[in-house]
Structure 1
């Protein structure tokens, strides 16, 4: 349930504020705005967790290593699909739904593995984290390349004139 409510909240904030602004004018912006929203959420969540724990140092370190990057990685998927939805000529609504559903599923898998407390799942958890990093960086790098190409075209047009 945590993954559902947290990702729904982050989606709501990103969609209702960032998705509709003029400055959201390229695909990379979707990832940037989603990650910013996610990291703000992770900061507030971690403060609540850390301040309510007796062993707050251990909790802070653990959440800093796993929870904060986890939220960021879920947000990359959200922003990736949000941007496809925003700039799609057709079927944008399908990608809008995916921008919410995919992070919910990823967050749910993350929480299930982490909170199951099965000893052997630690290896599965590390493998899942590596998968999130690899797929997240792949999505991010795709939009960074597109952004650079767009910028280079703008520079070339301005130099031509």
Structure 2
């Protein structure tokens, strides 16, 4: 019974955050099967990420900067970006800018959920530690997914240099914020709470702005308004 409770507590934050961003899609909800597929893809990339990270840690040592920006943010965001680009970017279901956010958060939260489960069973986990992880690393991964998906959504509906520019930004932007988050956690262990709380507020502020912006440029927005007027 205890194992089930710990497992549920470890999984619940990721599922809840995914449901939140899924329901934020105002105009053309994505097929749930595709969202679940991308969530499970996020789960599957945990193992190769861990293998690459282990090799890099042996090579680069224990530098907080190297760990934060290369081992953690660099490897994790690259794998997420890679599977999004090769599985979703040219998919027919990716037909409005907000879809990038839905699928990117699905991949990110699949990764974060398995990571959270491994943490819960790898160390003595209490309700307090799982709550802190829900508020910090799990929601952090969700927001890095929002950033990645927003700019990938912008790239999808551009051409030429603008498309390439936003594709680069869709990796570099979450990479920077993820690396900065980890660097704060690594370099100021005694006073991190005073930095990470406002930092998380900033991430949520930017994330919600991107959610609203992506919805505001949906090609289905006018169609929905016309349907509402006719009805």
**Same fold, TM-score > 0.5, yes or no:** yes
| TM-aligned CA distance change 1:21 to 1:112, over 3 Å | same
DSSP 3-state at the match of 2:201? helix
C-alpha deviation, 1:16, in angstroms: 1.3
Q: Which moved more, 1:47-56 or 1:62-71?
A: 47-56
Does 1:77 pair with 2:147? yes
DSSP 3-state at the match of 1:25? coil
DSSP 3-state at the match of 1:81? helix
Distance of 1:97 and 1:110 partners within structure 2: 20
C-alpha deviation, 1:20, in angstroms: 1.7
TM-score (norm 2): 0.63
Q: 1:113 aligns with which of 174, 178, 184?
A: 184
Provide the residue aligned with 2:108 in structure 1.
Answer: 38
1:49-103, CA deviations, whole angstroms, 9 ceiling, x for partnerless residues?
1111023544422211211110011111101111111111332111111111111
Q: Which moved more, 1:89-98 or 1:105-114?
A: 89-98
| TM-aligned CA distance change 1:154 to 1:118, over 3 Å | closer
Structure 1 moving runs of 4+ over 6 Å:
none
Matches for 1:9-158 after TM superposition, within 5 Å: 9-55=79-125, 57-91=127-161, 92-147=163-218, 150-153=220-223, 156=226
C-alpha deviation, 1:126, in angstroms: 1.3
Unaligned runs of 5+ in 1: none
Distance of 2:116 and 2:222 partners within structure 1: 40
Q: State the superposition RMSD in angstroms.
A: 2.2
Q: What count of residue pairs does the alignment treat as equivalent?
A: 159
1:100-140, CA deviations, whole angstroms, 9 ceiling, x for partnerless residues?
11111100000111122343342221121111011110011
Unaligned runs of 5+ in 2: 1-70
TM-score (norm 1): 0.88
Q: Which moved more, 1:124-133 or 1:48-57?
A: 48-57
C-alpha deviation, 1:155, in angstroms: 5.9
